[in-house]
Amino acid sequence: MLGVVADHLPPGARVLVGVIDPLDPAVETPEQVRDRVLTAARYLPVDRLGTCDDSGFAPFADDTSTSRDTTFAKIRARIEGTALAAEQLGL
């Protein structure tokens, strides 16, 4: 699928790849995030690659499906894992 995205990527467009699952209560490790970024980098130009969560954390105050602590742990893993991938890619 990432190959298809790469084949149709307009000039100047940036691709954000979902590297964490906000619905899964398990917190991804930075290494898991790194590996997902490195996989995407095999298909997409690294200077136009970014990371995000798979579908977004619920914006509604009454949705308690993901705790605040879990949400922030997942965001921390995304930041740390993206930094690990950037380092490995020489960025």
pLDDT of residue 63: 63
The Cα–Cα gap between 16 and 30 comes to 17
pTM of the model: 0.84
Read off the pLDDT of residues 39-51 as tens digits, 9 standing for 90 and up: 999 999 999 999 9
**1 within domain boundaries:** no
Range of the domain at 75: 17-88
pLDDT of residue 10: 93
**67 within domain boundaries:** yes
**5 within domain boundaries:** no
Count other Cβ atoms within 10 Å, centred on residue 84.
17
Please count the structural domains in the chain.
1
**2 within domain boundaries:** no
**12 within domain boundaries:** no
**7 within domain boundaries:** no
CB proximity list for 78: less than 8 A, separation 6 or greater: 19, 20, 28, 33, 51, 52, 53
pLDDT of residue 58: 60
**61 within domain boundaries:** yes
Q: In the 8-state DSSP scheme, what is residue 29?
A: P
